Structure 1
Amino acid sequence: MSKKQKTIQSEISLSGVGLHTGNNVTMTLKPAPINHGFAFVRVDLEGKPVIEARAEYVVNTQRGTNLEKNGVQIQTSEHVLAAAVGLDIDNLIIEINASEPPIMDGSSKFFVEAIEKAGIQEQNAQIEEYIVKEIISYKDEETGSEIILMPSDEYQITTMVDFGTKILGTQNATLDTISDFKTEISAARTFSFLHEIEMLLEKDLIKGGDLNNAIVYVDKELSDSTMQKLKSAFKKDKISVKPNGILDNLTLHWANEAARHKLLDVIGDLALVGMRIRGKVIANKPGHFVNTQFAKKLSKLIKLDKRNNVPQYDLNEPPLLDIHQIMDILPHRPPFLLIDRIIELSESHVVGMKNVTINEGFFVGHFPGAPVMPGVLQVEAMAQCGGILVLSTVPDPENYLTYFMKMDNVKFKQKVLPGDTLIFKCDLITPIRRGICHMQAYAYANGKLVAEAELMAQISKIK
């Protein structure tokens, strides 16, 4: 059964402090259009730069997953991203007036509550989901941390942690279905060991930390000097260690809360892949470094899979639009009408085809001894296919012309020869606005990707 993309119904704001900076932060969650994904917007900076939540922008994983694009940073992105994934959100704008979201209580609980309060809205576009068909893995040989992704009927995650300490030994946590995220995972708080806290204090970090937003496991003797530093840092008159080895009087939500928080982090970090995942994740000793390295690997595999995932269609079936119906929409005519059929058409994508024959006019002069379809005409054919998509949004397409505005990342992979059947697939990158169509286009022949391009065009009414 097909599923629709989702965003939130209305904007909602949260305020708090950044864990490491200690600065007051306001974060506003806003609805986003279809195929937008997750993106952070730094509203405190000139031009309000956007940092998309993508694995390629990960620059640092010390104490959180930190993103950077064009010199603009977002720190500790994982908790709010986990909340979005955990509530089945696909598209979300995250406006923030600082470099890191508010830490709140160190979990995703408050972000989940905010999203639910804003309301969840279904959108008129199908979800994009990566269906795992074979085992994919990544291992950090230095630490032994490993992530394995295997086929499954739905998105599942298991984390196994072993910190090698008496106070916090081996723990496991499992999420069998993402719909259980809210009740089983979202309230799991971040944690640290006492020796890490001392190091962070020495580096003048965790300025926003207190005993309400981080579980501190005491893995060493608490000296008087350390006690004084902690009292000052956490603004407490008295600090003690409970029998379960946790600093002060914090009560665990679950005995395996540490493993559950690691699971939360895995979800947030793998959100950087940029699409839903249908598969089972098994993470052994996960951390932000191995999580994001795996996300980068998976992103590359998905990109490669997209390029090589040749659409399969029964070309003997009647087309959605034949050549006569195409000419009712497009102003082009032979020899510059370069598509023969439209096979699929939705609000966000179009699939068309062309039979390349030896009697094409361009073969007369383009390497007549070894005829090859010119690359520029392959781009033109993809654009004409996209033209059907944009012209389908107006009631009188015969009164419009389509003009190129821009083309980027044009690549030609294989030669197109007489006798080839070209399949074109164009997907919107952003929704059509003011007659402007921004799309990713692919051309396939003989079971291979032959060309791709990012195209932008605009329709203009004939005067």
Structure 2
Amino acid sequence: MLKQKTIHKEVTLTGVGLHTGKEVTMVFKPAPENYGYAFVRVDLEGSPTIEAKVEYVTETERGTNLEKKGVSINTSEHVLAAAVGLGIDNLIIEINASEPPIMDGSSKYFIEALESAGIVEQEAPVDEYIVKEIISYKDEETGSEIILMPADEYQITAMVDFGTKILGTQNATLNRISDFKEEISAARTFSFLHELETLLEHNLIKGGDLNNAIVYVDKKISEETLEKLKKAFGKDDIKVTPNGILDNLELHWANEAAKHKLLDVIGDLALVGTRIRGKVIANKPGHKINTSFGKRLANIIKQEKRKSVPTFDLNQPPLMDIHQIMKLLPHRPPFLLIDRILELTEDSVVGMKNVTMNEPFFVGHFPDAPVMPGVLQVEAMAQCGGILVLSSVPDPENYLTYFMKMDNVKFKQKVLPGDTLIFKAELISPIRRGICHMRSVGYANGRIVVEAELMAQIVKKK
């Protein structure tokens, strides 16, 4: 079983933001298990956190920009690609500006910094999405398309066609994510001359120089443009090399542009929030389609997780039997609706109930066609959650649990005599002041039968 990874110690690097031109300090810090990636704006009051999630993508014109509650992070993809490329699952990225340093326009220096911090294994297993069928997304306007298909490991192929003589069509493939450092990480960002002129006119790329972006010359340079470029890059002279690149910058690979597009795909799909086991084929990728596909994939993963039925060996001794449950819960038969607790952590609990024909509620609830009342299914889920919240205090026998709210309650299948109900409750937010907000799902016969968001509070007995 693959284990999650983070870094051993914090590490700092500084540089200049590409578009702002301001010096930026960025600190990578270890993160706990199941944390994922998150940016922390230490330059703002309260040091707000923006989780690296595709739901926070707001702008993809010049990079992938995230925004949460008015706080933004720009050009996130190069940093996130480095984390994915090194197999890091959990990482805190503190930054004193809205934009990470551009460095040389690749992920190379982020790789070096993270490796210098040391990469350590954690105890929790990796959350990996295993692709079982083809998933595709196409932008009809641009012709860009991304396809994800089953494969033994995470693989990416990027195919780009810029329709220019200077660059034309290029392809790049990464067959193993472990090869990212050597094969992809040093691929630098690039721009065409006509794009560069537009950026200069809008007073952008203040932090640009000829060492952090490849500039492909796709048109004849006027004297006026040359003077602007000299001023922008602080150069006395600027030339076009025989291979059509501005000044004397040497390519690392002939297909460096395609490799950088592949790098961007990895960084953008990091926002899905889980490792991927499958092959990505990206035709004419860009931040817009990358993140649009990422949103679709994240939604598919979310739906599949909701539908996945946990499996437990019911012949094994439970974590808690009925006697141990009654030491925690104040309920007693016939209103004690949980028979066993199978699993219990700080933020989740799994319980079980055997539904039998001699349940007292069947006497009056459709006696000729017995079906477990939905309200009692919700009560059973709540009792399961009660075990979770009561286990957070040292003297649970001195507390009672009360409902505060129920949201999004759905009954999907009938629960009949003979069914075995499995309930799983997970915290939506940490328990504070005795208030527990959780999402609960009930399963029977390999299917979801009931689900709800529940809020309860534990109150000390008087």
TM-score (norm 1): 0.89
For the residues of structure 2 that align with 1:39 and 1:404, how far apart are their CA atoms?
35
Which residue in 1 is equivalent to 2:146?
147
Contact (CA 8 Å) 2:386, 2:401: kept in 1 or not?
A: no
For the residues of structure 1 that align with 2:460 and 2:14, how far apart are their CA atoms?
47
For the residues of structure 2 that align with 1:436 and 1:8, how far apart are their CA atoms?
33
CA 1:84–1:234: 2 relative to 1, 3 Å: same
What is the count of residue pairs matched by the alignment?
A: 461
Give how far 1:367 is off.
Answer: 8.1
Q: 1:412 aligns with which of 405, 410, 413?
A: 410
For the residues of structure 2 that align with 1:462 and 1:112, how far apart are their CA atoms?
55
CA 1:21–1:443: 2 relative to 1, 3 Å: same
For the residues of structure 2 that align with 1:436 and 1:10, how far apart are their CA atoms?
34
CA 1:150–1:288: 2 relative to 1, 3 Å: same
Contact (CA 8 Å) 1:375, 1:412: kept in 2 or not?
A: no
For the residues of structure 1 that align with 2:426 and 2:266, how far apart are their CA atoms?
27
Residues 1:11 and 2:34 aligned together: no
CA 1:199–1:9: 2 relative to 1, 3 Å: same
Q: How does 1:134-283 map to 2 (within 5 A)?
A: 134-283=133-282
- Segment of structure 1 superposing worse, 438-447 or 107-116: 438-447
For the residues of structure 1 that align with 2:449 and 2:16, how far apart are their CA atoms?
51
For the residues of structure 1 that align with 2:308 and 2:42, how far apart are their CA atoms?
38
1:194-237 per-position Cα deviation (integer Å, ceiling 9, x unaligned) = 11101111111111111111111111111111111111111111
Which residue in 2 is equivalent to 1:78?
77
For the residues of structure 2 that align with 1:83 and 1:188, how far apart are their CA atoms?
12
Contact (CA 8 Å) 2:160, 2:283: kept in 1 or not?
A: yes
Give how far 1:302 is off.
Answer: 0.8
For the residues of structure 2 that align with 1:109 and 1:218, how far apart are their CA atoms?
25
For the residues of structure 1 that align with 2:380 and 2:239, how far apart are their CA atoms?
72
Residues 1:301 and 2:305 aligned together: no
CA 1:29–1:437: 2 relative to 1, 3 Å: farther
What letter is aligned with 1:411?
A: V
Give how far 1:450 is off.
Answer: 3.3
Contact (CA 8 Å) 2:374, 2:411: kept in 1 or not?
A: no
For the residues of structure 2 that align with 1:296 and 1:35, how far apart are their CA atoms?
20
- Segment of structure 1 superposing worse, 54-63 or 343-352: 343-352
For the residues of structure 2 that align with 1:249 and 1:438, how far apart are their CA atoms?
59
Residues 1:324 and 2:326 aligned together: no
Contact (CA 8 Å) 1:399, 1:461: kept in 2 or not?
A: no
Give how far 1:414 is off.
Answer: 2.1
Give how far 1:372 is off.
Answer: 6.3
What letter is aligned with 1:198?
A: E
Residues 1:92 and 2:91 aligned together: yes
CA 1:158–1:460: 2 relative to 1, 3 Å: farther
Give % identity: 74
Which residue in 2 is equivalent to 1:105?
104
SS in 1 for 2:93: strand
Which residue in 2 is equivalent to 1:381?
380
CA 1:402–1:134: 2 relative to 1, 3 Å: farther
Give how far 1:360 is off.
Answer: 4.2
SS in 1 for 2:208: coil
For the residues of structure 2 that align with 1:95 and 1:167, how far apart are their CA atoms?
39
For the residues of structure 2 that align with 1:239 and 1:90, how far apart are their CA atoms?
43
CA 1:72–1:187: 2 relative to 1, 3 Å: same
For the residues of structure 2 that align with 1:263 and 1:319, how far apart are their CA atoms?
48
CA 1:82–1:377: 2 relative to 1, 3 Å: farther
Gaps spanning 5+ residues in structure 1: where? none
- Segment of structure 1 superposing worse, 422-431 or 71-80: 422-431
Contact (CA 8 Å) 2:157, 2:282: kept in 1 or not?
A: yes
Contact (CA 8 Å) 1:348, 1:428: kept in 2 or not?
A: yes
Contact (CA 8 Å) 2:402, 2:459: kept in 1 or not?
A: no
- Segment of structure 1 superposing worse, 337-346 or 431-440: 431-440
What letter is aligned with 2:443?
A: Y
TM-score (norm 2): 0.89
CA 1:406–1:36: 2 relative to 1, 3 Å: farther
Contact (CA 8 Å) 1:130, 1:278: kept in 2 or not?
A: yes
What letter is aligned with 1:126?
A: P
SS in 1 for 2:5: strand
CA 1:433–1:172: 2 relative to 1, 3 Å: farther
Which residue in 1 is equivalent to 2:352?
353
Give how far 1:64 is off.
Answer: 0.3
For the residues of structure 1 that align with 2:405 and 2:49, how far apart are their CA atoms?
22
Contact (CA 8 Å) 1:372, 1:415: kept in 2 or not?
A: no
